[in-house]
A = this chain, B = another copy of it.
Amino acid sequence: MFIELNTASSIPIYTQLRNQIVLGIGRGELKTGEHLPTVRQMAEAAGINVMTVNKVYAILRAEGFIEIDRRHGAVVCPRKENAEALQEKCSAQLELLIAESSLKGMSRESFFAICGEIFDRQQTAAENAFL
């Protein structure tokens, strides 16, 4: 679980950190039930403020990716979501991404190929996580 933040980016640090943790869970680098570093450890490792990390953990909890227990800290625990609501959110984001990509010249086939690769990668990563 490597965290790499770009302080020169226009993307807020807390968003970058949030995304990298979600990606880490998706890739299986962070397994369900596993502990995240404490807010202080993470802040130290990433070279950022404790409260910034705390904000990220609070967001991830609100989004249902982790649970936070005062005594044990933050634990990976992805919650399933209502299927219809999930599809709507996903569809809205996909529509924009597909519009941008296809206007820029990407074919439907290329797009699907990329999606396929990502799903394959995440699945094998998740499988390896249990070995």
Q: Does A22 contact B (CB under 8 A)?
A: yes
Supposing A78-B103, A103-B26, A112-B115 touch, asked if A93 and B97 sit within 8 A by C-beta, the answer is: yes
**A70 on the B face (CB < 8 A):** no
Give a binary string over A51-71; 1 marks a CB under 8 Å from any B CB, 0 the rest: 000000000000011000000
Q: Which residues of A contact B (CB under 8 A)?
A: 19, 22-23, 25-27, 64-65, 78-81, 83, 86-87, 90-91, 93-106, 108, 110-112, 114-115, 117-119, 122
B118 in contact with A91 (CB, 8 Å) = yes
> What is the CA–CA distance of A101 and B91 in the complex, to the nearest angstrom?
10
Report the minimal beta-carbon distance from A15 to chain B, rounded to whole angstroms: 11
